[in-house]
Structure 1
Amino acid sequence: MMGDARLAVQLRQVLERHELNFVFQPIVDLAQADVLGYEALMRGPLGTPLHAPEDLLRVARLHGLTQELEVAACTGAMHAFAALRLPGKLFLNLGAPAIASFGGADGGELLRHAADAGLAPGRLMLELTEHERVEDAEALQAAFSTLAGQGVGLALDDFGDGRSSLRLWAQLKPRMVKVDKFFVRGIHHDRRKVEVLRAILNLSTAFGTSIVAEGVEEAEELSVLRDLGCHFGQGYLLGRPAERPAPVVADAARTVLDSSKVAVLPNAVPRTGLAETVGRLKVGAPTIAADASNAELMQLFAHHPELQAVAVVANGYPVGLVNRRNFVDRFARPYSHELYGRRPTTLFMNDAPLRVEMSTPIDALITVLTGDDQRYLYEGFILTEDGRYAGLATGESLVRAVTERRIEAARHANPLTFLPGNIPITEHIGRLLSAGARFAACYFDLNNFKPYNDLYGYWRGDEMIKLAARVIAAHADPSQDFVGHVGGDDFVVLFQSEDWQGRCERTVHAFNVGARALFDAGELARGGFESEDRRGFRVVFPLTTMAAGVVRVSSGQFQTPEEVASAAAAAKKVAKQSGSGIHLAPAVRPRLLLEATG
């Protein structure tokens, strides 16, 4: 307690003597690669327990000096900023009470401090911090409106950190919103963060607000932010806090912003939506009561010839399932009607049928397809809502739905290599074409893979494909080059690396060397292996190697991703036929474009 009391005295002295110091961190316009302004960050006297800003704020909160500290920091930062003659806007962090106070008397107090420092109101941007402490949103809204009318800009800080409110964004109508660094760090590795930022950018368009991405530290992060259309950025890559910050963007960041290369976005398999639940397989079907007789069940089947099975229900809950074919076969035997007609339907039912809640994702039933009990394939299964009977579904519809889901997932990410599939490949080519970027589309394929797969089996074949995936990915630059798996032994790399040709050559060589380890000693000694050709004849094939067809793409040469893919596939075909390993297609416009231009 005594220590805190001494710190409170020291804090009051710091405020009275105007001993706060300031560093400034640039905020950069990502489209123009220029400095928009600087955020002022306060520091206490160097070498004292109050040097760190978090210690200043802690002591201020403990002793009721928060607003006094913020006002002192605001006014001190304006004078320090003006003295440095820095360009652009000055961003000032303030809590709701301080902003509400500055909004009084038509913002006169804030405007006087700005005039004393020689700053026009239009150069000020107040950042609302600590949103969870906003107790009177209406008063804050009035203050925002008043200050905005004087030309002062308002920003919402740390949006998305769990404390900020979408309601505040809509209600306060800030000019800018700063996105919390959590959604920026590692965005080039996390598709979820990409989608969050896209959603925030969509909101910013609807609200007429600019977005600042905080915490930008890596070139790959900045590249993704730029390509997504984020307006502004802040972070160590763009410029560190400094007492005398540079008036221009840091060289490392400018290199990224000036580059014509397109960012490689992280890939993700689409998640199961609400529509992709087992409920969509539901077939309405009549039921039979548990205490009904087999004779009544026979009549039900007779009146509904389309029914393959009937659920047995007691008090609305399913207790079993009767398969039509099995029941009718048994009841058609001599004397069965006399023996079993009056007996209850539970006699011939499957008392352990597959029961599935309607809300269950279809993907969750993949394990059912590989289970030991496969009766559901021919008798169907029961759908329930909160355990009560809802309807039936057929095994055929489940197999078809699961298959469709797996095929769709494979189009996004190959299940063997986990590399992006056809849809992300097409999307990335489209982004490259839209940006007018120069790139090399390389189509990799394996020579004599099918006969190898026939000889050694699918397990060894899968090992060969996974080897190809590892080698291709290892020789690509993940920050510039997009690696995709079309399917089977076909891969595509969209190179933006300047040294793409050397990377291709090293890829082919590395695979050809590594693939030898997947052959038996006898085949290695002979330099080939015997297997069936496409006509079914036993022939000797050379060892499996890699071929690559390459098409160089420049702005305006191709109009659609399909044209690029077709040209690369044609180059790959030539490479396989020539046996030279790599074929570089001549720079000729595709036939479709020639026809279009006459």
Structure 2
Amino acid sequence: MIYSPPQREVEAILAQRNLLPLFQPIIDMKQARVFAHEALIRGPVESRLHAPIALFNAASLCGLNLEMEYAAREVIFNEYSRTERTHPLFVNFSPDCLLLSEGHLSFGLNQLAQSGIQPSDIVIEITESSTIRDYATLRDAIMRFKSMGFKIALDDLGEGTSGLRLWSELSPEYVKIDKHFIANIHNDPIKLEFVRGIQKIAVESNTLTIAEGVETKEELAVIKDLKVDFAQGYLFGRPFPKFQYALTEEVNHLLNKNIVRLFVDQQSPAFKQATVTGLTSYQTAALPSMSNEEVYNWFNSDRSLNSIPVINQHGKPLGLISRYDTIDRFARRYQKELHGKKSCTTFMDTQCLMVQKDMTILALSELILAADPKYLLNGFVIIDGERYVGMGSGHALLREVTNMQIHAARYANPLTLLPGNVPINAHIDKLLERRIPFVACYCDLDHFKPFNDAYGYRRGDEVIQFVGRLLSSMVDPEQDFVGHIGGDDFVLIFQSAQWEAICHDILETIAKVMPDFYDLKDVQSGGIRIEDRLGNEHFYPFGSLSIGAVRAFADHFASHHEVAGAMSNAKKQAKKTIGNSLFTERRK
């Protein structure tokens, strides 16, 4: 018998179980934690059947789609069995598979039993991969699975034509709202009303909702306001070979919007304690005995003044007079004649912003952001107790906040929130000072610039954030240190003995997962093609990681400067090897 190429490939995959299981977290919106994971499957890395659609289409063409489903679940269950199984696992089942005979059901239960997994650990996701003709039979099959302890989720609600009927027939515990209705929901009132309606039905039918494909903080804000129960998408984590249990700082901020976290734990003491005193500019104040006409002339003679404070004879501030209000009022007919001789307190703003000189810059910036915009224009009065000290301007505040943000970026990278240059250098110096041996690794992504050029900076940021999460998840948090220098450059400082094995695990994971960041056409080509300025086309394979490692001892290095130089040289050596590579410098 002559087999077509897809047939041979599919049969080889099934025989060797050459499948890659991936797991994407599902987030509990109310508890702000990882609730469960969805299991996904990929074909062999760098093959034309790597993408799940290509894999299952090929299996279907060969009449082996059910066999591929069983094989996929086998590798998924094997990987899940290695965890403590404290989080449920959502696993895709096609209706065809659920309607199989008792023999097939027994086989599936044996798969679970052999892995030590209980039905209560599994949520069956019903996919609309084929036309459903007999709802009654399917409902009976689902009831049988429920009686064994499985829970049921209806996948991609809204994508197919039978979703609402399936919901009413099967009474699932969960419904997953298709990502089409979540994408750009903050700008689409029709999608908003659709999800609002689904959520209302879910509440009335005692069903929990899961929003799929959440990628932006704006989308998250909308579904949170709609009280969707759970969420899943790239914002929380991409499909990954290892289970992800921790949320990023950014996601924690968004889910706990009443908690404002500043990067104070990773900032210098000077940064934390910067106060309004540094913004103070002394300005002569007006007294209540001054007339409106005198203040008007004062503004005309000094065009740099935006406002003038008014204090009493004891130095206590009474209010603030605005240049704009004064000139605007006196430009009107007869106003100067009517009010020019009156006290300047007549029109002063008694509700102006007054802040203590020891208030922190961060607290002041939050206060002004929540208050009337006029405070940025008119400025604010700075006091010591009840005594006038000087004035502060919105311009000075913005300049100081910008400087602080630049300063903070040295302590924590704003994209990954990993420690930046200053903590990295301080950590290395402390290890050298205490004469503790360590391994310093410089990690650099290969072919990142072409990826950024081809797909844009947002996709590039996703890759960088993914690498940051990957590195953090692979090291021992009690012994090892992960830092982000900037761009696609990271630093690992190992004290754990198994550092080399960890590096190889990182490189292996990068090789498996990196194709998922590329478009399907580029996955099939094994990389991307880009034209340079001269119109010449260049081919760049999938991104990889080069790691340059240095064994560091206090006798060999005097400071972080020398360690950094040695790491940089080791990284250059690693990049001479094509693809994912680890080069270790063993300095004598």
Bigger Cα Rg: 1
Tell me which interval the TM-score lies in, with the shorter structure as reference length.
0.3 to 0.5
TM-score, normalised to structure 1, is 0.46
Q: So what's the TM-score if we normalise by structure 2?
A: 0.46
